[in-house]
Every structure is written in C-alpha cells, then in structure tokens.
Amino acid sequence: MKNLKATAIAHSNIAFIKYWGKKDEKLHLPLNNSLSVNLDNLITKTTVEFSETFKKDQIFIDGQTVQGEKEKRVVDHLNRVRKMAKICLKAKVISKNNFPTASGLASSASGFAALSLASTKALGLSLSEKDLSILARLGSGSACRSIPDGFVEWYKGKDHQTSYAKGLFPPSYWSLSIIVLLIETKEKKTFSNQGHQLVWTSPFFKERLKNIDKKIFLIKKYLQEKNFLKFGQIVEDEALELHSIMLTSKPALIYWQPETIKAIKYIYFLREKGLPVFFTIDAGSNLFLISQKKDEKDLIRELKKEYSEKKIIINHPSKGAFLIKDYQVEGD
C-alpha cells in the first residue's frame, strides 16, 4: 500500500473584525463576516499518517497525547475526511505549535487548517482552496481563515457550502507588523466555543449585528486605501466591542488580566507620544499590537522598556496553509 502520509504547515490568524456568535453551532456558521490576516510567526506543523496497522487514532500535540474534548474534536475532523475519501483507516496525527497552545493565540485556527490540508492530502484528496476552507471551518470556525494567503475575509454565507474564507490581498500587500504581547501562557478556562453560545445573553449583541456590515465596509475601504490610522482605530474599537459583549454576557466572560489593562494603557501612552500603534485582543488576555513595519523598531524598543523579550512575538502578514515534504514521523 502506498504511503498515506502528508505534512502541512498553517499559520494562526488574527481577526480585525471578529467572529463572535454562530448561526449554526455544529457547522460553525457565523452571524457576521470577519476579516483577518495570517501571522508568519505563529505556526502549526502537522503530519497525518493513515495505516491499517493503527488500531485507533492517536493524536499528539506538542509531544503530548490529547484526550477528552480536544481528542474528540480532532477525531471528528478525521472522520469527516475519511468519509470524503471513503477510507476508514485509523490515523496518527503529530502536531506542533511554535507558540503556547490555548493561550488565546488561536492554536485551533492553525491547528485545524494544517490538519485539514495534511489529512486530505494523505488520503489522496486534492481539495480546492474554497473546499479546504469549508472543511477547516467544521473543525474550528476561525481555521477557515488560515487557509487562503494574506489578508482574508470569511463570508458568513447562507449555508455550509457558501461559508468560507477568501484572500482579499496577498501578504506583501501591506507591510504591517503584528506583535503579540504575551500576558499569560496557561490554558484558558473558557474556550471560545462556549463563549459563542452566550452572545445573545448580552443586551448589546443585537446592536453589534445591526452595525457590523457598515464596519466591514469601512475597514475594507481603509485596507484598500492603506489608511493606517483609520484602519487601526476600527480594529481597536472592534476589540473593545467584542470584549463589551463578553463582559455583559451571562455569565460574564472576563478574559482580561490586570496586566491586560496595564498594556492597553501603555499602548495609549505610546500613541500619545506619537507612535502609531493599535491593539486587538481575542478570547484571551494577550494583546496583538498592530503597527506599520516602518515603526516596528521604535515600537519594539519602547516595548522592551516594559516587557521582557520572551513576552514579545513579532509577526508579519503570511501566506496560508501549504504542504511540505517531511518524512519524519515521531517527535522530530
């Protein structure tokens, strides 16, 4: 039997306009379009091998076997791919992140993007970018945005077949720096899929949906014009709006740490000093700072006055998921 094995790399992405709230829980159909960029320094590498010698699916993430809900999500995804390929062999999945898992750095996005590409390829399927994005979405919504290159929009669509992500601009389109400021690196208590379910318990969610299309129109306009100040302001407003929904959900979701607020204030301070930098925050406490590449050195110098080098991860816009040749199985 031929080698049913493939390795893929995918990058995490950060949303400028967020996906928060689902029309369909199971299919991860979002209530609004979202916009993101792939991050070149937040990487997942996944090898998937199918074999008749495997008695059960084995999943290793960062050298550890995974169990419980995490294992189920991966096995469910493998089942989708096995169904598509009409093959029922068990698989070994070895996945590695170059960043802390479940720290709000979206390992599920790069994880399910890489898993989708590696597992389909291993079983001899060649999916189009659109179909791969649709498949990745079933693993984790935001994973569909880690399939295409660069600056990406995820169309909420009407149903399963019409909800997928598409590249708006290639990574080279705009020289931005996206700097992660790590506030904490331990496992989150509330995963984002539980948070999505609470959106309607916030009295502000309806208002958010009412205005979201206008916001998307504007951010695309500023992206098109490369108007950094207007672009950055919308991104920052959006992050605060997201967290206002979280804070007013029942039960309230408080992802921030005291250090998060301190960092926000520090960004305001830097901006007042004349450094054009904005932040966004996902379902976690870490900040993603957005600046233009030309200001990156100054920004890093300022950040290092307050934070150790270990807390700073520098990223630039990156391509989407791709296959690599890699014949090592265990550990590597």
CB of 258 to ligand DP6, least distance (A): 20
Taking CB under 6 A as the rule, does residue 77 contact ligand DP6? Answer: no
Q: Which residue is nearest to ligand DP6 (CB)?
A: 141
Radius of gyration of the chain (CA): 19
Q: In this complex, which beta carbon is closest to ligand DP6, that of residue 27 or of residue 275?
A: 27
Q: In this complex, which beta carbon is closest to ligand DP6, that of residue 49 or of residue 119?
A: 119
C-alpha atoms less than 13 angstroms from C-alpha of 56 in its C-beta half-sphere? 8
Among 5, 11, 18, 77, binds ligand DP6 (CB under 6 A): 18
| 119: its two tokens | 């597992």
Among 236, 282, 296, 302, binds ligand DP6 (CB under 6 A): 282
Q: Return the closest-CA partner of residue 153 out of 71, 255, 223, 97.
A: 223
Site string for ligand DP6, 128-157 (x = CB under 6 A): ------------xxx---------------
Taking CB under 6 A as the rule, does residue 193 contact ligand DP6? Answer: yes
Classify residue 184 by burial, with Cβ atoms within 10 Å: 0-12, 13-18, 19+. Answer: middle
Q: Are 119 and 87 in contact (CB under 8 A)?
A: no
Taking CB under 6 A as the rule, does residue 246 contact ligand DP6? Answer: no
Taking contact as CB under 6 A, which single stretch among the options 15-23, 46-54, 199-207, 311-319 is the one that binds ligand DP6?
15-23
Three-state DSSP class for residue 273: coil
Taking CB under 6 A as the rule, does residue 208 contact ligand DP6? Answer: no
Classify residue 172 by burial, with Cβ atoms within 10 Å: 0-12, 13-18, 19+. Answer: exposed
Taking CB under 6 A as the rule, does residue 244 contact ligand DP6? Answer: no
Q: Are 80 and 138 in contact (CB under 8 A)?
A: yes
Taking contact as CB under 6 A, which single stretch among the options 43-51, 165-173, 190-198, 317-325 is the one that binds ligand DP6?
190-198
List 315's β-bridge partners, or say none. Answer: 178
Footprint of ligand DP6 (CB under 6 A)? 15, 18-20, 28, 34, 106, 108, 140-142, 192-193, 196, 282-283
